[in-house]
Amino acid sequence: MMNDMERLHNLKYFALDMDGTIYLGQKLLPGALDFLQYLKDSGRKHLFLTNNSSKHKHSYVEKLQKLGINATDKEVMTSGEATALYLQAHNMKQVYLLGTPDLEDEFRQHGLTLTCDKPACVVLGFDQTLTYAKLTEACHLLREGVPFIATHPDI
């Protein structure tokens, strides 16, 4: 039976939350760079994750780079991108989206069409641009039975 250190040593891929794990606000957390260097030196891969869907993945790549982490687009995934990939996989290409312009761009880049005319689902992301009109339309669609998907359940 393996102990915890042996299990950790055998891991080849790490999913790393960013905010509060790698950085806090605009400050890199102590040990983060050392840990990332250890992963690189030991041939392990990692993926940076965030449940914040308000920004495009490129924003997170830029932030990580400004903090001294040489991150690429392939190493970052947002909950918005994960939702877009889910919608693609389930052939839900027509979407009514409550989200920021960055999230709208993320969805379009994944081939999704943003519409209020017969969408396959209503998607709720973190939305700093939420208006009464957007909320009213979403409620109308939901009452008609259109499926509801949230990019993350942030209670």
Where exactly are the structural domains of the chain?
A: 4-79, 83-150
Tens of pLDDT, residues 109-141: 999 999 999 999 999 998 888 999 999 999 999
The CATH fold of domain 83-150: Rossmann fold (3.40.50)
Q: What are phi and psi of 31, to 5 degrees?
A: 90, -10
Does the structural domain 4-79 have CATH classification 2.40.100.20? no
pTM here? Answer: 0.87
Q: What is the DSSP letter of 24?
A: E
User: Residue 52 and residue 19: Cα distance in Å, rounded?
Assistant: 9
Could you report the per-residue pLDDT of 49-81, keeping only the tens digit for each?
Answer: 999 898 999 999 999 999 999 999 999 999 999
Pick 3 or 80 by higher pLDDT. Answer: 80
Give residue-wise pLDDT tens across range 20-59: 999 999 999 999 999 999 999 999 999 999 998 989 999 9
Q: What share of the chain is helix, strand, coil (3-state, %, to 5)?
A: 40, 20, 40
Query: What is the H or E stretch that residue 126 is in?
Result: none
- What is the structure's pLDDT at 8? 76
